[in-house]
Amino acid sequence: MSKIINILLVGVGGQGTILASKILTNVALAQGYEVKMSEIHGMAQRGGSVVTQVRIGEDVHSPVIEPGEADYMVAFEQLEAYRWSHFLKKDGVLIVNTQKIVPLPVLIGAATYPENILVELKGRVEHFINLDGLKLASEAGNVKATNVVLMGVLSKYMDFPEDAWKNALVAGIPAKLLDLNMKAFASGVAEVK
Amino acid sequence: MTQEVGQRMLMAGNNAIARGAYEAGVYFASGYPGTPSTEILEVLSQHREIKAQWSANEKVAFDEAMGVAMSGKRALCSMKYVGLNVAADSFMVFPFAGTIGGFVVISADDPGMYSSQNEQDNRYFARLAEIPMIEPSDPQEAKDYLKLAYEISEKFSTPVLFRTSMRVSHSKGMVTLGERVKVGDSTSFVKDVPNWVVPIFAKSLKAKLDAKFAAITDYVETYEYNRIEKGTGKIGVITSGASYTYTKEILPEASVLKLAITYPLPKQMIIDFCAQYDKVYIIEELDSFIEDQIRVWGVTNLSGKDIFPRTGEFSPDILAKCLFNEQPMQDFSNEFNIISRPPQLCPGCPHRGAYLALKKSGALVTGDIGCYTLGSLPPLGAMHTSFAMGTSIGNAFGFELGGISKVAAVIGDATFIHGGIPSLIDIVYNGGNTTVVILDNSTTGMTGHQEHPATGQTLQGKEVPKLDLVNLVKALGVKHVQVADPFDQKAMYQAIKDALEHEGPSVVITNRPCIFARGEKQRPKTPYVIDIDKCTQCGACQRIGCPGVLPGEQAAIDDVSCTGCSLCAQACKFDAINLKGE
């Protein structure tokens, strides 16, 4: 059985995790891989957690990734990174967008948003990178391109050629927004030294 | 998205089911929005060859599909599992007559209750109605099995239950596309009263149904899609649906009897299979539906609900824990007590305005199913009960009959049309005082903003006259009817107060659309902004619970998500919140 690559995308509804997963899966499919994925998106638009699980390889049966089995995890928000971090392999790669989106318990004063998430995670994970995706996207032209910035970061860690990612962007993004998204992607790529 | 025959693409289960309906030559599809089934009809409606429609509720959808099937064409009825509760009356009687054109009803279950009001194992419905049931385990099977369902339906003139689950419906996998078959397009109905007038001929029809089902049971014994995947070792597994995929992950060497048709079961095939192994695991989510039937046959080397849970979804991890007593992976989420992220009403949601006013009134509020159910959560806490679709109005009248004085029912526009109307008729008829607040946000919100009879557009985009809820309610005999703006707190509160004080039934209808209703996203919105010089940091604006009003000592408004509804400005006693630019 050939190797299966497991990628977890976690965030909050509205952050563009679903478009990001489309770009990622388009890259894999264009490279000839088979894909199975899971997405529970029922409450997404009402500010709930969104988790997309992507499994790339042949002979993939289950569409879900098990704790400790994710090769890559891209977190679009800090608290969600914290919540799902136990899904990462010991030598997995954790990419965290430092954005904070306040959940309901914090909004109503029943809880406080944890302060040391990034420090905690860095201590636990072998390959860790965090970045201000919002800022980079804004510099590229629009905060809504944060998801593409993060895909740029991910592209540096995965083994797909950069051209494959660019082609996926061309295929997945409307022409008039392509320029901005290419810039956003490039700024994500540049974050990885 | 172009779809060509022979193309292999990544597709969600529901999209694959829709594709299966297309390829099966389905002529008509009806249903009602409900997670995890909603996308089936939405995607199907993109095929112009198929007449697809949202019906007023699942029973209506079922009855319509019955009519199409009786006219000789292939019909599909799609719903979330609780929708089958609504359609059950017709669902239970139709099998007595059988069908002419293929008839498949989809029940999309939700083990683990990701987006549902309860957990129920709808496989029992097939057994209750004496009809066959088929269950796919991934998107490719979802497409293929829908076509098989039609073949079985027409072969035996029986409705077929196609059972999917959240995981199968919303996961994506590789699917190879096929051609649309041409099926019969007769348009005649041959009169046969002893077959189709069931109530009068039920006794003889029951005997016919029993005989038919015996024939189906024989047929299933050698059904080619129930298959045995021989492994090494001494254990066997009997499984179906999503559980099959998890089984392959954690028990790659086991011999697996994978069931496609999960009712009726192939008795001899199963008995023979079990005889070959020391132990056979029955891996099925929710109830011991399959296990119980096998045990009745005297098979004893089974393990099922003695070790696997009866509630919730499975996963390879959960199954492994049950099977091998493995230690769980280090679960940091428990260790650090991570704050939950429950869903909440969006910034600019009109329900927030209605709830702030209702809370102020001090009424007991009976609730229903929809986005507005979120009004029960803090900080609003403005809905006190909620059960099933359309229940709020009857419940409110019941509380009143039980002696509770100040009661109001809240119900959405879609929900009211779905099942609230008879309840309102009853309050008038049986002399109640109850106040009903119809939260009309011009959409079927929680399920993804589908159209309904009062929004003015059909599933396939046709403009139609809007059902006039105000006049409808008046026609039902309610004398006190008032339309109120939930973004005008004074007016909203007054309307509720007047309704509660009125002797006799009263209805208040809100009139602001959902921020995602058709046309709303494009409408320009001016956000509000807090003047920190006037702000006393009292927190009143934060206490309305809008995600657009940020927490912290100094409140601030997120101008990306603010839609300018003005509720926070109205909560402020210091005139510190005003429109940006003012």
Residue A152: both structure tokens together: 């740029």
B172, B331, B342 member nearest A37 (Cβ): B172
**Minimum CA–CA partner of A12 in chain B:** B341
| Residue A65, domain CATH | 3.40.920.10
Which of A79, A80, A28, A30 is CA-nearest to residue A54?
A: A28
Q: For position B582, what pLDDT does the model report?
A: 76
Q: Token digits for B441?
A: 């946000």
Residue B371 structure tokens: 């986005």
pLDDT confidence bin for A2, thresholds 50/70/90: low
* CA–CA separation, B175 and B87 (whole Å): 31
Is B378's CB within 8 Å of A29's CB?
no
pLDDT value, residue A104: 87
Residues of chain A found within 8 Å of residue B547, distances taken between Cβ atoms:
47, 102, 104, 107
Domains present along chain B, CATH in parentheses: 8-220 (3.40.50.970), 227-329 (3.40.50.920), 350-510 (3.40.50.970), 524-582 (3.30.70.20)
How far, in Å, CA of B537 to CA of B194, rounded? Answer: 76
| H or E stretch covering B201 | helix B198-220
Q: Which residues of B touch A27 (CB under 8 A)?
A: none
Sequence-distant (6+) residues with CB within 8 A of B2 are none
Query: Which residue positions in chain B have pLDDT lower than 50?
Result: 332-333
B550 to chain A, closest Cα gap in Å: 7
Q: Which positions in chain A touch B542 (Cβ < 8 Å)?
A: 107, 109
Note the pLDDT of residue B333: 47
The alpha carbon of A184 is separated from its chain's Cα centroid by a whole number of angstroms, namely 14
B166–A109: do the CB atoms touch at under 8 Å?
no
Which pLDDT value is given to residue A107? Answer: 83
146-175 in chain A: CB under 8 A from chain B: none
Contact A106 B332 (CB under 8 A): no
Query: Closest-CA residue in chain B for A56?
Result: B173
CA–CA distance from A138 to each of B46, B143, B549, B573 (Å)? 36, 42, 22, 36
Q: What is the pLDDT, as a whole number, of residue B140?
A: 97
CB-CB under 8 Å, B342 with A104: yes
pLDDT in tens, B15-33: 999 999 999 999 999 999 9
Which of B246, B333, B516 lies at the smallest CB-CB distance from A83? B333
pLDDT tens digits along A127-170: 999 999 999 999 999 999 999 999 999 999 999 999 999 999 99
Question: What is the distance between the alpha carbons of residues B161 and B105, in angstroms, rounded to a whole number?
Answer: 5
10 Å CB burial of residue B327 (0-12, 13-18, 19+) is: exposed
Which sign, positive or negative, has the C-alpha torsion A83, A85, A88, A92? Answer: positive
CA atoms within 13 A of residue B174's CA, in its CB half-sphere: 18
What is the β-pairing status of strands B227-229 and B255-258? antiparallel
Q: Is the Cβ–Cβ distance between B33 and B447 less than 8 Å?
A: yes
3-state secondary structure of A180: helix
pLDDT at site B525: 92
Instruction: Verify whether the Cβ–Cβ distance B249 to A62 is below 8 Å.
Output: yes
User: What pLDDT was estimated at residue B537?
Assistant: 96
Structural domain count of chain A? 1
Q: What are phi and psi of B81, to 5 degrees?
A: -55, -40
Three-state DSSP state, B274: helix
**Cis before B136 (ω within 30):** no
CA distance B137 to chain A (A): 10
Residues 6+ apart with CB under 8 A from B361: B406, B408, B493, B496, B497, B500
pLDDT digits (tens, 9 = 90+) for A79-137: 999 999 999 999 999 999 999 998 988 888 888 999 999 999 999 899 999 999 999 99
> How many Cβ atoms are within 10 Å of B553's Cβ, its own excluded?
6
8 Å CB contact of B174 and A34: yes
Secondary structure class of B365 (helix, strand, coil): strand
**Cis amide prior to B378 (ω within 30 degrees):** no
Instruction: List CB contacts of B56: < 8 A, sequence separation 6 or more.
Output: B32, B417, B418, B452, B453
Domain around A88: 5-190
Query: How confident is residue A6, by pLDDT bands cut at 50, 70 and 90?
Result: very high
Give ∠ CA A115-A87-B329 in degrees, rounded to 5.
105
> Which residue from A38, A47, A68 is facing B547, i.e. has the nearest CB?
A47
Long-range contacts of B378-386 (CB under 8 A, 24+ apart): B378/A104, B378/A108, B378/A110, B378/B545, B379/A108, B379/B543, B379/B544, B379/B545, B380/B345, B380/B352, B380/B355, B380/B356, B380/B544, B380/B545, B382/B355, B382/B356, B382/B358, B383/B355, B383/B410, B386/B117
Antiparallel, parallel or unpaired: β B279-283 and B235-239: parallel
pLDDT of residue A1: 41
Asked if the Cβ–Cβ distance from A64 to B167 is below 8 Å, we say yes
Q: Give the chain B residue nearest A171 (alpha carbons).
A: B1
**Chain B residues with beta carbon closer than 8 angstroms to that of A63:** 138, 167, 171-173, 245
Helix, strand and coil percent figures for chain B, each rounded to 5:
40, 15, 45
Quickly state the pLDDT bin for A45 (edges 50, 70, 90): low
Dihedral angle of Cα B572, B573, B574, B576, to the nearest 10 degrees: 10
- For residue B550, the chain A residue with the least C-alpha distance is A107
Q: How far apart are CA B374 and CA B537, in angstroms?
A: 27
Which are the contacts of B443, defined by CB distance < 8 A and separation ≥ 6? Answer: B413, B414, B449, B450, B451, B452, B455, B513, B514, B516, B517, B518
The answer for A50, left when phi > 0, alpha when psi is -120 to 50, beta otherwise, is: beta
Report yes or no: B348 and B565 within 8 Å, Cβ to Cβ: yes
CA A122 to chain centre: 17
Alpha-carbon span B427 to B397, nearest angstrom: 7
* Min distance B449 CA to chain A CA atoms (Å): 11
Distance (Å) from the alpha carbon of B544 to chain A's nearest alpha carbon: 9
Do B174 and A36 make contact, defined as CB atoms within 8 angstroms? yes
The neighbour count for residue B362, using CB atoms within 10 Å, is 9
The answer to whether B111 and B308 have CB atoms below 8 angstroms apart is no
- Sequence-ordered strand ranges (E) for A57-193: 70-75, 88-97, 127-131
Instruction: Provide the pLDDT for residue B278.
Output: 95
DSSP-assigned letters across all residues of B21-71: HHHTT--EEEE---TTTHHHHHHHTT-TTSEEEE-SSHHHHHHHHHHHHHT
- Residue A42: the pLDDT is 58
Test B249 with A103 for CB contact under 8 angstroms. Answer: no
Q: Do B342 and A110 touch (CB under 8 A)?
A: no
Q: Tell me if B328 and A49 make a contact (CB, 8 A cut-off).
A: no
Distance CA B210, CA B208 (A): 5
Closest residue in chain A to residue B546, using alpha carbons only: A107
